Structure 1
Amino acid sequence: MDDFLPKEVREGLLKAKRNDGRRKTRLRVAMGDQHWPIDRIWEGGFAVEHGAVPNLRGLVDIHSAGKHLYQCLIVASELEGDEMRYEYKRSTQASDRAPLDFYRAPDAPIALLGR
């Protein structure tokens, strides 16, 4: 069906489809104080709009609706169409608590009550 549409109309439809998908995403990549939307994400990396996002490299944070999900070490992978793909060298899930240095039994007391 797309064969019958003029080239400009097809390009406009593809652009509108990409923009619609970008508006729905809540995932963001952060480097320092700046944040950019992530177009799509997969197990080994993510993709952002080429040109709207500067070349990223190094340590970045990935957020979803304000919640910190991952801290990642990334490297630029390839330019595919109008999106830049990045791959993880390391991806660590973010936690809201510091890790324990010892095993805590499930039935251990939480606090000591005074008399």
Structure 2
Amino acid sequence: MEAVFSKEIQSGLDQARVASMKKSSRLRVCADGKKQTVLRMWKTGFAMEADAPDMRGMVDLYDGSIHLFRCLVVTTAEESGERHYEFKRATAVRGTPALDFETPEHAPAGLIEDAR
């Protein structure tokens, strides 16, 4: 059995759901020097509050202070008090610089000197 609520009650429930997701989320998007809270994220995109700006272009995605992805995004839809964004590209950020050479498979991890 499916419950049907009036528009006012459904709107209040959506606002309460968005507020609880915003409070518990650690994900942030940084675009043009402004940080905004991400409500939820999935494999191909993420959702923010409905009053979030239309974003199109490069953004940085953070989990707290950890830089996760450098993303190319586009706004796709707005539903249930959320604005959805889709990744056109999401490049994971690495903690080490990229190598411009191939490392041998059995390369030593370090040198051990004879300290006699």
TM-score tier, shorter chain, comes to: 0.7 to 0.9
* 1:92 CA drift (Å): 0.3
Aligned match of 2:46 = 46
| Cα deviations by residue, 1:4-58 (Å, 9 ceiling, x for unpaired) | x87655543442232111100000111131100001111001111121x211110
Q: Is the 8 A contact 1:2 1:10 kept in 2?
A: no
2:87 pairs with 1:85: no
For structure 2, list consecutive stretches of 5 or more residues without a partner in the other structure: 112-116
Relative to the length of structure 2, the TM-score reads 0.79
SS of residue in 2 equivalent to 1:12 = helix
CA distance in 2, matches of 1:62, 1:97: 18
Give the RMSD, CA atoms, in angstroms.
Answer: 2.3
Aligned match of 2:114 = none
Q: Is the 8 A contact 1:73 1:90 kept in 2?
A: yes
Aligned match of 1:60 = 59
Q: Is the 8 A contact 1:73 1:88 kept in 2?
A: yes
Aligned match of 2:93 = 94
CA distance in 2, matches of 1:84, 1:49: 6
After superposition, the Cα gap between the structure-2 partners of 1:8 and 1:36, relative to the gap in structure 1 and judged at 3 Å, is same
Aligned match of 2:102 = 103
Kindly report structure 1 stretches of 4+ aligned residues shifted beyond 6 Å: none
Aligned match of 1:113 = none
SS of residue in 2 equivalent to 1:79 = strand
CA distance in 2, matches of 1:21, 1:97: 32
After superposition, the Cα gap between the structure-2 partners of 1:6 and 1:88, relative to the gap in structure 1 and judged at 3 Å, is closer
SS of residue in 2 equivalent to 1:15 = helix
